[in-house]
Amino acid sequence: MQVFFLLVSMFFSNSLFCNLNSVLSNISKDNYPAAKKISDVSHIAIHNMIEYNVPFSITAGQILLESGITNENPYGTIMSQNNNLFGIKYYGLDIPTRIPKSIRSLCISGFVYANDDCGGRCKFAKFRNNYFALLYHAHFLTCGDTYIKHLHSSDYKGWAAALQEGGYATDVNYAKKLIFVIEKYQLNKIDERIRNTY
C-alpha cells in the first residue's frame, strides 16, 4: 500500500495526500482489506469527483457497504470477486437504459448470479476491472435525471438521501448506513480537500 501512497502523492497535492493517508490509516485499524480496496481505487474516485462531481465520500462509502468489506452485504464477496464494487445489477447490454450502450459494452464483461432481496437469484454485472466499475458507477449516477438534483452538490448527506429515494438500494436504512460509514471514517474530509485543491 505504501507504493500506492507514493504514486498518489505525485498526482495530488501534499495536503490531500496527507488527508487520504490519515483516512486510510483509520480504516485499516478496523479492516485492512477495506483500506486496501479504497487505496486501490482512490485515484479513480478522486478523478470521478473532479470530472463527474460524484463526491469521493459517496464512492468510497458505497464501496465499503456494497462490496461486503464491512460485512454489511453478505453477498459482497461475490461482488468484489467480479469487480462489482457497487452491487450493480445486470440488465443486459441490449436493453435500453440511461447509460449509453458504448459505456456498458466497454465496462461490463458479463454477469454473475447471487442471491439478493429480489426474492431469488439475481444477475449482477461483472466488470472488466475496478477502473471500469468506477467509470460505470459515475455514469450510472450522472446519466438521466434520477440523481440530477445533486450533480452540482458536494453534500454527501444529500447524495445519500438521493440514492435511497432514487431506488439505488432496497434497504430502507441505506442512506443512514452510508452516512454512518462516511462519517466514521471521515471520508467527507477528502471531499473538502478535493474541493479546496481543484
pLDDT, average across residues 106-135: 84
Please say if the pLDDT value at position 19 is more than 80: no
Contacts by residues 19-23 (CB-CB < 8 Å, ≥ 24 positions apart): 19/189, 19/190, 19/193, 20/190, 20/193, 22/186, 23/185, 23/186, 23/187, 23/189, 23/190
**CATH code: domain of residue 20:** 1.10.530.10
Domain count, the chain: 1
Query: For 54-72, what is each residue's pLDDT tens digit?
Result: 999 999 999 888 766 555 5
Please say if the pLDDT value at position 83 is more than 70: yes
**What does the pLDDT read at residue 9?**
44
Query: For 26-40, what is each residue's pLDDT tens digit?
Result: 777 777 777 788 888
Pairwise CA distance, residues 18 & 23, whole Å: 9
What range does the domain containing 34 cover?
A: 2-197
Q: Kindly report the pTM of this predicted structure.
A: 0.83
pLDDT band at 151 (very low <50, low <70, confident <90, very high): low
CB-based contact 29:20 (threshold 8 Å) = no
